[in-house]
Structure 1
Amino acid sequence: MRKYFFVISLFLLLFSCISDKKLISNPNFTKIAMNPLSNEKLSTRAILIDKNKVWYAGNNGNYGFISLDTLADFKGNIAKENLKLEFRSIAQTSKYIFILSIGNPALLYRIAKDNSAIKLVYQENHEKVFYDSMQFLNEEEGFAVGDPTEDCPSIIKTTNGGESWTKISCKNLPKFAEGEAFFATSNTNLVLKDDTMWLASGGKKSKIYRSIDKGEIWEIFETPIVQGEAMTGIFTADFYDENIGFITGGNYEKQDQNYSNKAITKDGGVTWKLIDDNKAFGYASCVQFLPNSGGKSLVVVANSGVFYYRQKDKKWKQLSDEKELYTIRFIDDKTAIAAGKNKIFKIEFKK
Structure 2
Amino acid sequence: MKKGFLLAIICICFSCKLKTKSDNPETTTTTPRSGFTKVIADTLLTEKISIRAIAADSNRIWYAGNNGKYGYVTLDKSKTFTGHVAKDDLKLEFRSIAQTKEHVFILSIGNPGLLYRISKDGKHTALVYAEKGEKVFYDSMQFWNDKEGIAVGDPVENCFSLIITRDGGESWTKIKCGALPEIAAGEAFFAASNTNIIIKDTHTWIVSGGKKSNVFYSPDKGMTWKTYATPIVQGEAMTGIFSAAFYDEMTGFAVGGNYEKPEQNFGNKISTADGGKTWKRIAEHEGFGYGSCVQFFPDSKGQELLTVGASGVFYSADQGTSWRKIADYKDLFTLRFMDSKTAVAAGNNKIIRFRFQ
For 1:86 and 1:248, locate their aligned partners in 2 and report how far apart those are by CA, in whole Å.
24
Q: 1:302 to 1:312 in 2, by over 3 A?
A: closer
The one-letter amino acid paired with 2:90 is L
* 1:138-217 map, 5 Å: 138-217=145-224
2:54 aligned residue (40, 47, 52): 47
* 1:1-351 map, 5 Å: 27-29=34-36, 31-311=38-318, 314-350=321-357
Give the Å deviation of 1:38: 1.1
For 1:138 and 1:182, locate their aligned partners in 2 and report how far apart those are by CA, in whole Å.
23
Any idea what SS the aligned residue of 1:341 has? strand
For 1:194 and 1:72, locate their aligned partners in 2 and report how far apart those are by CA, in whole Å.
32
For 2:319 and 2:53, locate their aligned partners in 1 and report how far apart those are by CA, in whole Å.
31
Specify every segment of 5 or more residues in structure 2 that has no aligned partner in the other structure, as ranges: 1-32
How much identity, in percent, do the aligned residues show? 58
Please tell me whether the aligned partners of residues 30 and 317 of structure 1 are also in contact (alpha carbons under 8 angstroms). Answer: no
The one-letter amino acid paired with 1:174 is P
Q: TM-score if structure 1 supplies the norm length?
A: 0.91
For 2:272 and 2:45, locate their aligned partners in 1 and report how far apart those are by CA, in whole Å.
36
Q: 1:50 to 1:114 in 2, by over 3 A?
A: same
For 2:270 and 2:202, locate their aligned partners in 1 and report how far apart those are by CA, in whole Å.
23
Please tell me whether the aligned partners of residues 282 and 321 of structure 2 are also in contact (alpha carbons under 8 angstroms). Answer: no
Q: 1:139 to 1:276 in 2, by over 3 A?
A: same
For 2:102 and 2:86, locate their aligned partners in 1 and report how far apart those are by CA, in whole Å.
23
For 1:68 and 1:312, locate their aligned partners in 2 and report how far apart those are by CA, in whole Å.
28
Give the Å deviation of 1:71: 3.2
How many residue pairs align between the two structures?
Answer: 325
The one-letter amino acid paired with 1:129 is V
Q: 1:70 to 1:282 in 2, by over 3 A?
A: closer
Any idea what SS the aligned residue of 2:49 has? coil
Give the Å deviation of 1:69: 2.6
Q: TM-score if structure 2 supplies the norm length?
A: 0.89
Please tell me whether the aligned partners of residues 30 and 319 of structure 1 are also in contact (alpha carbons under 8 angstroms). Answer: no
For 1:313 and 1:147, locate their aligned partners in 2 and report how far apart those are by CA, in whole Å.
29
Please tell me whether the aligned partners of residues 42 and 58 of structure 1 are also in contact (alpha carbons under 8 angstroms). Answer: yes
Give the Å deviation of 1:28: 4.8
Any idea what SS the aligned residue of 2:48 has? coil
Please tell me whether the aligned partners of residues 96 and 110 of structure 1 are also in contact (alpha carbons under 8 angstroms). Answer: yes
Please tell me whether the aligned partners of residues 51 and 347 of structure 2 are also in contact (alpha carbons under 8 angstroms). Answer: yes
For 1:45 and 1:312, locate their aligned partners in 2 and report how far apart those are by CA, in whole Å.
25
Q: 1:314 to 1:260 in 2, by over 3 A?
A: closer
Please tell me whether the aligned partners of residues 262 and 311 of structure 2 are also in contact (alpha carbons under 8 angstroms). Answer: no
For 1:208 and 1:313, locate their aligned partners in 2 and report how far apart those are by CA, in whole Å.
19
Give the RMSD, CA atoms, in angstroms.
Answer: 1.2
Specify every segment of 5 or more residues in structure 1 that has no aligned partner in the other structure, as ranges: 1-25
Any idea what SS the aligned residue of 2:178 has? helix
